[in-house]
């Protein structure tokens, strides 16, 4: 029998970064700082990510582009893989992501690409915890998302690999 069901995504929006907790504001500040060091000569779109680990450490990353375009990497995965390489046993608690462009004002939150969503999902699974995601542009409102499951419903995970 044919059945239709809907999947709900919840996003909390704050008018400005000043409404976040001090710790979250610091994380977003670190994401902006990291974005300034991105290597983005092809898109001129500078993305920064800052991760808060369970042990309190902050790991940052930014997008690294390449003349062979697909060889580049997004800020989110640069940061996550760095955290995974340096602190394999620490879960990621919060992830702050921000972007600016030299061509226009990024005044809305930017959202992780599909490949980054899959990688974030893997790290939630790896450490059995939800990763809170905070998204913003250069200025403007902030989106808070409780887990990547909100952004990647019907995620492919290890359950799909086994009977
Ligand atoms: N980019 C990121 O780093 N993260 C995102 O969430 C979206 C896109 C990068 C990839 C590329 O270097 C540039 O932004 C333009 O797509």
CA distances from 68 to 55, 72, 77 (A): 37, 8, 18
Distance CA 123, CA 163 (A): 22
Distance CA 155, CA 153 (A): 5
- Examine the pLDDT at 157 and tell me if it is beyond 90: no
Domain positions in the chain are 15-136
Q: Decide: 38 and 97 in contact? Cβ < 8 Å.
A: no
Mean pLDDT of the chain: 96
Calculate how far, in angstroms, residue 74's C-alpha sits from the geometric centre of ligand 1: 5
Question: How do residues 87-139 score in pLDDT, each as one tens digit?
Answer: 999 999 999 999 999 999 999 999 999 999 999 999 999 999 999 999 999 99
Closest residue by CA, ligand 1 atom 1: 74
- Examine the pLDDT at 80 and tell me if it is beyond 80: yes
Residue 160 binned pLDDT confidence (cut-offs 50, 70, 90): low
Calculate how far, in angstroms, residue 154's C-alpha sits from the geometric centre of ligand 1: 23
Question: Tokens in use for 103?
Answer: 């061509």
Q: Which residues pair with 136 in a beta bridge?
A: 98, 142
SS3 4: coil
Sheet holding 45-53, edge to edge: 12-14, 142-145, 132-136, 92-101, 45-53, 58-62
Residue with tokens 């992780």: 112
Residue with tokens 């580049």: 72
Give the residues surrounding ligand 1 with Cβ less than 6 Å away. 40, 43, 45, 47, 63, 65, 72, 74-76, 110, 112-113, 116
Residue 63 binned pLDDT confidence (cut-offs 50, 70, 90): very high
Active site residue 150: no
Calculate how far, in angstroms, residue 65's C-alpha sits from the geometric centre of ligand 1: 9
CATH topology of domain 15-136: Cytidine Deaminase; domain 2 (3.40.140)
- Mean pLDDT across 72-91: 98
């Amino acid at each position: 029998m044919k059945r239709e069901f809907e999947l709900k995504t919840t996003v909390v929006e704050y008018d400005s970064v000043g409404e976040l907790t001090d710790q979250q504001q610091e994380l977003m500040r670190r994401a902006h700082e990291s974005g300034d060091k991105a290597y983005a000569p092809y898109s001129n779109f500078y993305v920064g990510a800052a991760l808060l680990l369970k042990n309190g450490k902050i790991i940052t990353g930014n997008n690294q582009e390449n003349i062979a375009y697909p060889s580049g990497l997004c800020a989110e995965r640069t940061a996550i893989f760095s955290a995974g390489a340096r602190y394999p046993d620490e879960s990621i608690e919060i992830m702050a992501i921000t972007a600016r462009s030299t061509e226009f004002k990024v005044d809305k939150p930017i959202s992780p690409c599909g490949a980054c969503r899959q990688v974030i999902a893997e790290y939630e699974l790896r450490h059995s915890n939800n990763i809170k995601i905070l998204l913003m542009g250069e200025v403007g409102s902030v989106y808070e998302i409780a887990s990547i499951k909100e952004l990647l419903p019907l995620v492919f995970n290890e359950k799909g690999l086994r009977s």
